[in-house]
Amino acid sequence: MGQPGLDAFSTPWCEKRLMTRYPPPPSDFEPAVPRSGRPLAAAFAMTACVLATTALAAGSEGDAMVGNWKPDDRETVLSITRAGSAYSALAPATDGGTIDLFRGVTWDAESKTWKGELYASKRSAWVSAVLRLENPNTLVLKVSSGIFTKEVTWLRSPPPKQP
């Protein structure tokens, strides 16, 4: 005899009990809605089109931040890119590579801002950030850590020159 547990549900006794409690419909049974699936497929296709259009519109509006930016207090040019629904701010690292200064930054269509975390190199810590475009060439970052808040301005910049 097997142990009671998951395999107890696959015994013939259980199957017989389910069949007596919930018998199959008679063979001459006609459902109220045809089983072709076409109305469901049409509704699914229409929903998919609406969602795709909404995602493209939100993505294009949120992508206004993509490009090269220069913080007003530094000489470094940062490159903001989008990967999926999140954004990255790539800065040159001392070893010749790049480091991402954003973590979990995503577009919030309701407030027309980007929200996430920014790496504060002076503090060596991640801080909460809300980013908004003041105009097409000015990005304002509102950075918060605890009760302290600071606004930093980044200006759109041409791509950095390669040596």
141-163 tens-digit pLDDT:
999 988 999 999 999 998 666 65
What's at 19, amino acid-wise?
M
In the structure encoding, which two tokens stand for residue 67, read together?
A: 């490009």
In the structure encoding, which two tokens stand for residue 70, read together?
A: 């220069």
Gap between the Cα atoms of 79 and 73, Å rounded: 16
Q: Among 18-22, 44-48, 96-100, where is mean pLDDT lowest?
A: 44-48
Instruction: Looking at the structure, give the CATH architecture of the domain made up of residues 61-156.
Output: Beta Barrel (2.40)
How big is the chain, counted in residues?
Answer: 163
Mean pLDDT of the chain: 77
Dihedral (C-alpha) 39, 45, 51, 54: value to the nearest 10 degrees?
-110
